[in-house]
Structures are given as C-alpha cells and as structure tokens.
Amino acid sequence: MTRSTLLCPPIFYDIVYSINPWMQGAKVDKALAMQQWFQLKNILSHIGVNIKLIDQSPDLPDMTFTANAGTVRDNAVVLSNFKHPVRQGETEHFREWFRKEGYNIHPLPPNAIFEGTGDTVICDDLLIGGYGFRSNLTGLRMAAEILDLELLPLKLTNPNFYHLDTCFALLRPDLGLYYPGAFSAYTISKLKKHMELIPVSESSANKFVCNSIVHNGVIIMPAGNEEVADKLEGYGFSARLINTSEFLKSGGSLKCMSLWI
Ligand code: ARG
C-alpha cells in the first residue's frame, strides 16, 4: 500500500529553548542535521513512500518534527494544540498546508492539549494515545471522538519519554515495541490486551529506538540500535539505520520528523 508522509526540511531547525529534558543547549551542526534528514527522505522514497513537504517558518525551530502537527484519518485531520507557547505558532502553518491539500480540518478548544502523532497512533479502530506530559486526556478524548476511534489512553510517567512515540512503536496491528520504564505496570497490562509487546532496555530507549518508522516490512531505526534491529529481523522486518545525532539533541528522531497521512 502506498502511503504518504509529510516532512519539513530542517532549514531553520535549531535548539534555542528547552521544553524537554534532552534539550540541554547542545549546539546543532546544521549541515549535518540536513544530511541526516536527507538520508531519512531518501530511504522513505526508496521504499515507496510518497513524500510531501512543508516549508519551515524561520521562527519555529521545532517545526521539523512534523509528527506533532496533528493526527490524520482518511480526509480528516485533528490539528494540534501545542502545550508550550514556543511551538504554538506551528499550528497555523500546518492548518494552511492541510487546507490547501483539501483536508477536513478539526481544531480543538484551548483546554484540549494535543500534540498529534507524537502522542497518538491509529491501530485499526483504536486510537492509542499517550498523555501526561504534552497531550492531555481531554485532547485525546476529543481527537478519538472526531476521528471515530475508540481511545486506549496510556499514561506516560517518565519525563525523558514525554511523547508516546519516544517509548512505543506500533510495528504491526498485533505487535509493539516499547520501553517499560516509561509506563506504570497497570498501563502496560492495558496495552498487552491488544498486542504482543517487545520490551527494550533503557539504553536502547535512550537511543530513541522506539522512534523508529515502520513501512511495508521495513523498519528505519536510529543508529546504535543494531541489537534491537537484529531481534526485529527475526520478526520478519528488514532494518535500516540512520544516524540522527543532531535531532536527538532536541529530544527527537526519525518518527518525530514524519507525519503519516
Ligand atoms: N524539541 C521537540 C519538542 O520538545 C521535539 C519533538 C519530538 N517530537 C516527537 N514526536 N516526539 O517538542
């Protein structure tokens, strides 16, 4: 199946504020960041993904993380309501992009905090949603209702894994990759009712292994995760690894840079 993904070339990507524990002010090598982003784009094209692009606004350094723009199902998009004021300006740019592309746009009221596919993933008729650091329960509930999905809310408990896509990846509708240290035992038991879960170590989680992208049996993973890659090859996936050092400095990696539409 051909799928599309929205990417934002990191022309103005930078770290000028801190809104998660990874953003410690490390200097971004901008040329390297661009190279790493191009590697992602090239692999995605190579495996048959239809690439869509949005221009980055000069005053919005995190706009490259398009996963946070909203959540799309068919022709409907629930637009994000960012928690932090420094990212709130992104919404109007994404809204304009979705408008031009002909989507039915669903904004949320101010009390509904929602950071799109950073915190949500659609699994058949289920919206798996993470809340606690960025998106809130109100945001997840409203998004699920708009998209006509049943909500499976998962409380995130570890500030280093502040978005769901930093600690959970849906590999197949019946299989997930997750970092147990980001959830309570009760939350994990809820998720286990829906799928088999492959746990990763803290050291792999810190290398953002759960921020991998899966498409057509290929898993694109952040570099340094060879051990997990070998394991997933045993599950039938073919792994590609990309160094995302410049984006890790901002608390993001591959999946954060792509919005599946
Ligand atoms: N610096 C960005 C932020 O804190 C990183 C976003 C990562 N996105 C994601 N989907 N996890 O908002």
Each residue's pLDDT tens digit, 63-83: 999 999 999 999 999 999 999
Q: How confident is the model at residue 234 (pLDDT cuts 50, 70, 90)?
A: very high
Give me the residues paired with residue 104 across strands.
Answer: 76
Distance 234 CA to ligand 1 centre (A): 30
Residue 132 DSSP class: S
Enter the pTM of the model.
0.97
Q: Exposed/middle/buried for 254, CB within 10 Å: 0-12, 13-18, 19+? A: buried
To 5 degrees, how large is the angle CA 144–CA 148–CA 149?
Answer: 55
Contact 135, 115 (CB under 8 A): yes
The arrangement of strands across the sheet holding 213-215 comes to 213-215, 218-222, 238-242
3-class DSSP state of 50 = strand
**Residue nearest (by alpha carbon) to ligand 1 atom 1:** 250
**Residue nearest (by alpha carbon) to ligand 1 atom 7:** 252
Distance 65 CA to ligand 1 centre (A): 6
Which of 214, 238, 242 lies closest to 40, judged by CA?
Answer: 242
Mean pLDDT, residues 23-29 taken together: 95
User: Phi first, then psi: what are they for 254, rounded to 5°?
Assistant: -60, -55
Mean pLDDT, residues 95-117 taken together: 98
Distance CA 237, CA 228 (A): 11
Mean pLDDT, residues 236-240 taken together: 98
CA max distance for the chain: 45
Mean pLDDT, residues 154-180 taken together: 98
What is the percent of the chain with per-residue pLDDT over 90, rounded to a whole number?
A: 99
2, pLDDT greater than 80: no
Distance CA 30, CA 15 (A): 11
Q: How confident is the model at residue 1 (pLDDT cuts 50, 70, 90)?
A: low
3-class DSSP state of 23 = coil
Question: Is residue 164 in contact with ligand 1, taking CB distance under 6 Å?
Answer: no
To 5 degrees, how large is the angle CA 166–CA 186–CA 152?
Answer: 60
Contact 55, 13 (CB under 8 A): no
Give me the residues paired with residue 79 across strands.
Answer: 70
Task: Give how far Cα 31 sits from Cα of 10, 17, 23, 28, Å.
Answer: 10, 20, 19, 9
Mean pLDDT of the chain, nearest integer:
97
Which one of 68, 164, 248 would you pick to mutate in the ligand 1 pocket, going by the greatest count of ligand atoms within 8 A of its CB? 68
Question: Is residue 19 in contact with ligand 1, taking CB distance under 6 Å?
Answer: yes
Ligand 1 atom index nearest CA of 87:
12
Ligand 1 atom index nearest CA of 211:
11
Mean pLDDT, residues 227-232 taken together: 98
Candidate list 163, 167, 210, 215, residue with the active-site label: 163
